Amino acid sequence: MSSLISIGLSGLSASQAALSVTSNNIANAATSGYSRQQTIQAAGASHNIGAGFLGTGTTLSDVRRIYSSYLDNQLQTATSLQADSVTFQDQITSVDKLLADRDTGISSVLTAFFSALQTAAAKPGDVASRQLLLTQAQTLSNRFNAVSTQLTQQNETINSQLDTMAGQVNKLTANIAEYNKQIAAASGTGNTPNSLLDARSEAVRQLNELVGVTVQERDGNYDVYLGSGQSLVTGNKANTLSVQPGAADKSQASLRINYESFSSDVTSVVTGGSIGGLLRYRQDVLTPSMNELGRVALVVADSINSQLGQGLDANGQFGSSLFSSINSATAIAQRSLASSNNSSGSGNLDVTIANSGALTTYDYEVKFTSANQYSVRRSDGTDMGSFDLNADPAPVIDGFSLSLKGGGLAAGDSFKVIPTRAAAGSITTTLTDANKLAFAGPVSATSGSGNSGTGTITQPTLGESLDIYGGADTALIQQSIRDSMPVRVVFDAASGGSQGYTLFDAKGTKIGTGSVVPGTDNKLSVAVPMLNAAGSPILDGGGNPRTFSVETTIGGSPAENDSFTLSFNADGKADNRNATALLGLQTKSTVNTGSGGGTSFTSAYASLVERVGAKANQATIDTTATDAVLKSASESRNAVSGVNLDDEAASLVKFQHYYTASSQIIKAAQETFSTLINAL
């Protein structure tokens, strides 16, 4: 009887265990990362009774975790990719709307500015039209500032998010290391700690939501690595991630992995997860957008200021700048970022814009090989060459030049040069007097009152643009244009298809001769000697007389002694020639001219909007795709490891029957035993 009871008890025990495991499966059906468990039974040892071997019941040999490492790895990878895509899309969606929306972007206010300029150009003497242009200029600079502020705040938010996520990564890696320790201890008993294994796998999945990692199983431990092999977890030891200001750019947080005795910057190698999505967005979208927006702001300010400097305002003075100088002391200083690893007491670099049209949207790494020698590498990997800090004039690199600001430099010092990034945030409208808008040309032409021929002359222009950053020398040229004019062009009689002319300066002194072909358009470039207010020649450093040139076109057939006078345009209130030239900037190629082509600043901004929009659309496609991949990977994993409630309900009924049947074995043994006792 005892063997029969033992067999029944073994069945009860096995059935009870199976019921417990099945119940546990049902209870954890919604538990993230839970792997379905299954009891494994084995037949008990058999006894030889002479006539054969009789069984002794059953034993519970294992509670198996239904798990596929292949499917789990697929799920981990899909989780990392999906988190990366979703984060990238969330970030780019906001900046896409910011740049493209009429109420927040630049295009609408840039169009409004040129519309106001067109109105003012049509009525150059109308103060109200001039004032409206100033108002639109203020709106334009304010909008540049607002968009720049939004992008800067997004950069700061990314820094904060990286710091928060690094803390979450550290908690998870510490948990994984602890799970490794507990699993190793539990496995020493010969049993499999299924719940701990599930918890560890779930921690790795959650880690992949934050950052892409790879896992290598070693002696039952999970060793966890970042994408390029940096160890986050080794056995029961976890290394930590920290967020610090970037060594080259303190405004952009960097990720460092901290080992026992040193740390390493891993910003450039981190991929996947939300952290990877943030870093990818910052590198591929945010920083280029800030640089492009800044470049457009620089070119707008520089082009308009420079053109205004070629004309005269309503007071007969050479034009003032409408926007703040692109080479103000503040602007020059904020374009260079000294590395935190530079030698103590090192100076800094001033970055001066020499040609705004040649600027790119790249950043630059400047490394010093000695106190004066440095090399420049562009962020796209292009080696820009080696240069001497003492060279005069300073070499121009993609539209900018470098100079030392205080202190000294040593071999190994490095700087990050960001020529355009901060420009949109610092542009301001500085002109407040509408009468100082320089709409008129600086020189004018009139025909002699006694002319009898059919000769004509176009309104002249200066042969060379005035450098608005030229300081005292430009002021000298401007004053000499006043003092050196008028210049008279007096014609001889036509002879043999040619007609000579003589040039006389303001004092009536002959300063040159030339000839034209009557009846055709003849371009003239008149070299005018520069005179001071006393009428004396202005000399260059070598003692030679300086000149400036005036260009015009002579048409028709002047008669003998006919004349034209080129004068300083002292009363040009009704003159809109420079205003018309300003209007031309709307479509003139002023951006990226260093590439040999160039585009207008309106087209440059439109291209920025288009590029970000295209990336936003691609981000939507990528997110849809990675959602599908994650769903498929999750379904595949759940098909093997997940809990199917219908199956578990059926198993519950089955094991209940087993339990009932086993109890019947014990009942049969009891009844048989009672029968034997009663028979005695």
Reply yes or no on whether the pLDDT at 669 is more than 80.
no
Distance of CA 155 to the CA centre of its chain: 9
Q: pLDDT over 90 for what percent of the chain?
A: 74
Q: Contact, 235 vs 180, CB < 8 A?
A: yes
Task: Give the distance from CA 530 to its chain's centroid.
Answer: 49
Q: Taking the CA of residue 153 as centre, how many other CA atoms within 13 Å lie in the half-sphere pointing to its CB?
A: 9
Strand locations in 423-545 (E): 443-447, 456-457, 461-462, 487-495, 498-504, 510-516, 522-529
Q: What is the mean pLDDT of the chain?
A: 92
Residue 169's identity, in one-letter code, is V
φ/ψ of 32, rounded to 5, equals -65, 130
Closest by alpha carbon to 274, among 75, 84, 92?
Answer: 84
Q: Is the pLDDT of residue 1 over 60?
A: no
Beta strands in 130-234 (DSSP E): 213-218, 221-226, 231-234
Where helices occur in 253-405 by DSSP H, the ranges are: 273-281, 287-308, 329-333
- Residues 6+ positions from 70 with CB-CB distance below 8 Å: none
pLDDT tens-digit map of 27-75? 988 888 898 988 888 887 887 777 777 777 788 888 888 888 899 999 9
Q: How many CA atoms does the CB half-sphere of 324 hold within 13 Å?
A: 21
Place of tokens 């981190």: 270
Closest by Cα among 32, 29, 36 to 640: 36
% of the chain residues with pLDDT over 70: 99
Q: How confident is the model at residue 117 (pLDDT cuts 50, 70, 90)?
A: very high
Nearest to 250 by CA among 339, 148, 341: 339
Quick one: pLDDT at residue 545?
92
At 60 the pLDDT is 83
641, pLDDT greater than 90: no
Q: At what angle are helices 107-122 and 577-584 packed, to 10 degrees?
A: 160
Residue 5: Cβ within 10 Å count: 16
207-230: string of b/e by CB count within 10 Å (b at 16+)? bbbbbbbbbeeeeebbbbebbeeb
Task: Residue 190: count other Cβ atoms within 10 Å of its Cβ.
Answer: 6
Contact criterion met (CB below 8 Å) for 247 and 341: yes
Nearby residues of 270 by Cβ (< 8 Å), 6 or more positions away: 211, 212, 226, 227, 255, 276, 279
HSE (side-chain half, CA atoms, 13 Å) at 376:
20
Per-residue pLDDT tens over the stretch 331-365: 998 999 999 888 877 788 999 999 999 999 999 99
Domain ranges of the chain: 2-66+643-679, 293-426, 443-568
Beta-carbon neighbour count of residue 404 at 10 Å? 15
Task: Tell the burial category of 496 from Cβ atoms under 10 Å away from its Cβ (0-12, 13-18, 19+).
Answer: exposed
Handedness of CA 549, 551, 557, 561 (dihedral sign): negative
d(CA 125, CA 113): 18
CB 337 within 8 A of CB 248: yes
pLDDT at 596 over 80: no
The b/e string for 520-548 (b: 16+ C-beta within 10 A; e otherwise) is eebebebebbbbeeeeeebeeeeeeebbb
d(CA 160, CA 432): 40
Q: In which band, very low, low, confident or very high, does the pLDDT at 2 lie, cut at 50, 70 and 90?
A: low
With CA atoms as reference, report the closest residue to 507 among 538, 485, 477, 479. 485
Cβ atoms of 282 and 246 within 8 Å: the answer is no
Strand order across the 253-258 sheet: 240-245, 253-258, 263-265
Buried b (16+ CB within 10 A) or exposed e, 583-599: bebbebebbbbeeeebb
Distance in Å from the first CA to the final CA of the chain: 16
Q: Please choose, from the candidates 386, 382, 352, the residue with its C-alpha nearest in 3D space to the C-alpha of residue 368.
A: 386
pLDDT on residue 428? 97
d(C-alpha 665, C-alpha 58), whole Å: 13
User: How far is the C-alpha of 208 from the C-alpha of 85, rounded, in Å?
Assistant: 13
Q: How far apart are alpha carbons 460 and 464 in whole angstroms? A: 12
**Tokens matching residue 486:** 């008028």
Whether 22 has a pLDDT exceeding 90, the answer reads no
HSE, side-chain direction, 13 A CA sphere, residue 27 = 6
Give Rg (Cα) of the chain.
42
| pLDDT over 70 at 437, yes or no | yes
State the residue for tokens 């759940």: 638
Q: According to the 3-state scheme, what is the secondary structure of 217-281?
A: EECCEEEEEECCCCEEEECCEECEEEEEECCCCCCCEEEEEECCCCEEECCCCCCCHHHHHHHHH
The string of pLDDT tens digits covering residues 448-479 is: 999 999 999 999 999 999 998 888 999 999 99
Residue 173 has pLDDT above 90, yes or no: yes
| Residue 408, φ and ψ in degrees, nearest 5 | -135, 170
Give 63-78 pLDDT, tens digit per residue.
888 888 899 999 999 9
pLDDT in tens, 253-294: 999 999 988 999 999 999 999 999 999 999 999 999 999 999
Please say whether the beta carbons of 113 and 390 come within 8 A.
no
How confident is residue 380, by pLDDT bands cut at 50, 70 and 90? very high
As a whole number, mean pLDDT of residues 637-655 equals 87
